[in-house]
Structure 1
Amino acid sequence: MQKILVPCDFSVSARRGLEFAVELAQATSGVVIVLSAISQQQVDENPIVSERYKAEFENFVVKISQPINIIHTIRIGRLLPAVLDLITEESVDLIVMGTRGSRGWESTFIGSNVEKILRRSPVPVFAVNQQSHLKNLRNIVFPCDLVLGNNYGTGQLKKLQALLNARLHLLRVDTTLGINKLILMQELKDYAAFHGLTNFTINIVKDTDEKDGILHFAKEINADMIAMTTHGSMDAAHMYRFSVSADVANHAHLLTWTCVQQSQASSLIKAK
């Protein structure tokens, strides 16, 4: 049974993420765990804020057309530690978050919170910045790092592809503008063979910026979502390094999915 964690403050964008998580749960017989994190300052300024979240959750649940297993938990404190704690406590398989995309992170999750979750999560993360439905996800852009190893993330993507019955569009963005295209094509073929990928196309684009190359290609083929595997880092000192995945998730106008390439669930380090 898949456990889906949804950080949610019941803003408009957060609700979009929650609605998508419900679809995922219905398709996989999963459980949705809704997390509302309340800062101590919020509690001090508005002692009944938790009651508002409880009421918002109940109002959402009564509108669900099909019965699913969905629960709500409220934690006092910062969002990232609460998310990482629940991943461990509940053996969470997947995170779904609603965002505002290129208009900026929203509300309780403003600033770097969403980006931190994208970088620190040891499990796959969906960033939902517009209304998305599983039945419409048929073409997935997959920028490849060409690493022949550490296949946890690729394995998770293969499971998602099977669930959606989707096609992968393997992509390599050449930012050097000088690498032989035939060499890149062969490396992509070797990558696909090593990871056992099926139902895919091979694509190479040239761009001076990797993020722009990914977004331009996704728009050109009218993709339904972008999937990215990352090297990840459980070290807080690495949080400030440039992250292509987080940048793509924040600027894409479509659904994004990210996952660390190498499983780090056994060595999860809680945020300080």
Structure 2
Amino acid sequence: MQKILVPCDFSVSARRGLEFAVELAQATSGDIVILSVISQQQEDQKQAVMERYKEDFQNFVTNINQAVTIIQQIRFGRLLPAVLEMITLESVNQIVVGTRGSRGWESTFMGSNVEKVLRRSPVPVFAVNQKTHLKNLKSIVFPCDLVLRDDYGMGQFKKLQALLKARLHLLHVDTTLGIDKQILMQQVRDYAAFHSLKNLTINIVKDTDEKNGILHFSKEINADMIAMTTHGSADAAHMYGFSVSADVANHAHLLTWTCVQQSLASSFIKSK
């Protein structure tokens, strides 16, 4: 069973994330934990904000017609520590968060913290920036780094592709602009064979910027979502380092999915 965590301040974009999480929970027989965090800037209105979150939660639960178990947890402080704590306490398998995509992260509190969640989460994260239905996700762009290794992120992605029964578009963005395309094509084929990936196309694009290459290709083929594995960082000192996956999630015109590349041997996440 999936346990899906949804950080939520009940803004318009956060509600889109919630609606997607409900569909995901239905498809995976999962439960949803809504995490509403009261920031330190809201301390003077703490009680009023808490009551609003409770009321918004009750209204949402009342208005959905699906039989999905949904609970709410309210915390005070910073979003990222609350998310990481909830992952452990609730044995979370998946995070879904609503964003505003290319228009920028949502609000000072939720928005500025979404990127941190993408970078630091030890479990997969869906970033939902527009109304999205799970059943419509049939074309996935998957940028690959051509490194042959077994890891947690790839294992989770293969489960996702199987769940969606989606066509996979393996993509390598050549930022060197100097390697023979046929050589790169063969390396991507080797990558696909190493990971036993099926139902796919092989694609090479040249661009001086990896993020732009991914976004332009995804738009060109009218993809339904972008999925990426990322090195992530458990060290807060590196949290603000360059992150292609976070940049893509912030600027994409469609749903994105990211997952950290933990080694299978060291992963503490139990797949369900």
TM-score (normalised: structure 1): 0.95
* Matching residue of 1:156: 156
Report the secondary structure of 1:169's partner residue. Answer: strand
How far does residue 266 in structure 1 lie from its aligned partner after superposition?
3.1
Which amino acid in the other structure matches residue 140 of structure 1? I
Cα pair 1:150 1:262 within 8 Å, conserved: no
Q: After the TM superposition, which residues 56-95 of structure 1 pair with which residues of structure 2 at under 5 Å, given as runs?
A: 56-95=56-95
Q: Over aligned residue pairs, what C-alpha RMSD do you find?
A: 1.2
Which amino acid in the other structure matches residue 182 of structure 1? Q
Q: Which moved more, 1:241-250 or 1:258-267?
A: 258-267
Cα pair 1:16 1:129 within 8 Å, conserved: yes
Instruction: Give the whole-Å Cα distance in 2 for the aligned partners of 1:7 and 1:245.
Output: 19
Report the secondary structure of 2:176's partner residue. Answer: coil
* Matching residue of 2:104: 104
Unaligned runs of 5+ in 2: none
How far does residue 256 in structure 1 lie from its aligned partner after superposition?
0.2
Instruction: Give the whole-Å Cα distance in 2 for the aligned partners of 1:258 and 1:233.
Output: 13
Cα pair 1:227 1:256 within 8 Å, conserved: yes
How far does residue 210 in structure 1 lie from its aligned partner after superposition?
0.4
Confirm or deny that 1:114 pairs with 2:114: yes
Instruction: Give the whole-Å Cα distance in 1 for the aligned partners of 2:208 and 2:111.
Output: 29
* Matching residue of 2:40: 40
Which amino acid in the other structure matches residue 110 of structure 1? G
Cα pair 1:123 1:265 within 8 Å, conserved: no
Instruction: Number of aligned residue pairs: give it.
Output: 266
* Matching residue of 1:245: 245
Instruction: Give the whole-Å Cα distance in 1 for the aligned partners of 2:71 and 2:47.
Output: 22
Report the secondary structure of 2:51's partner residue. Answer: helix
Instruction: Give the whole-Å Cα distance in 2 for the aligned partners of 1:69 and 1:141.
Output: 31
Percentage identity across aligned positions? 77
Cα pair 1:231 1:260 within 8 Å, conserved: yes
How far does residue 265 in structure 1 lie from its aligned partner after superposition?
5.0
Report the secondary structure of 2:157's partner residue. Answer: helix
Cα pair 1:5 1:96 within 8 Å, conserved: yes
Cα pair 2:38 2:46 within 8 Å, conserved: no
Instruction: Give the whole-Å Cα distance in 2 for the aligned partners of 1:36 and 1:196.
Output: 39
Cα pair 2:152 2:267 within 8 Å, conserved: no
Q: Deviations over 1:123-147 (max 9, x none)?
A: 0000000000011100000000111
Q: After the TM superposition, which residues 1-16 of structure 1 pair with which residues of structure 2 at under 5 Å, given as runs?
A: 1-16=1-16
Which amino acid in the other structure matches residue 5 of structure 2? L
Q: Which moved more, 1:69-78 or 1:100-109?
A: 100-109
Q: Which moved more, 1:135-144 or 1:233-242?
A: 233-242
How far does residue 46 in structure 1 lie from its aligned partner after superposition?
4.5
Which amino acid in the other structure matches residue 189 of structure 2? K
TM-score (normalised: structure 2): 0.95
Report the secondary structure of 1:182's partner residue. Answer: helix
Q: Deviations over 1:71-126 (max 9, x none)?
A: 00100110000000000111100000000011111123122x11110000000000
* Matching residue of 1:173: 173
Which amino acid in the other structure matches residue 219 of structure 1? K
How far does residue 48 in structure 1 lie from its aligned partner after superposition?
1.6
Unaligned runs of 5+ in 1: 268-272
Cα pair 2:10 2:56 within 8 Å, conserved: yes
* Matching residue of 1:270: none
How far does residue 262 in structure 1 lie from its aligned partner after superposition?
1.4
Which amino acid in the other structure matches residue 246 of structure 2? A
How far does residue 186 in structure 1 lie from its aligned partner after superposition?
1.1
How far does residue 66 in structure 1 lie from its aligned partner after superposition?
1.4
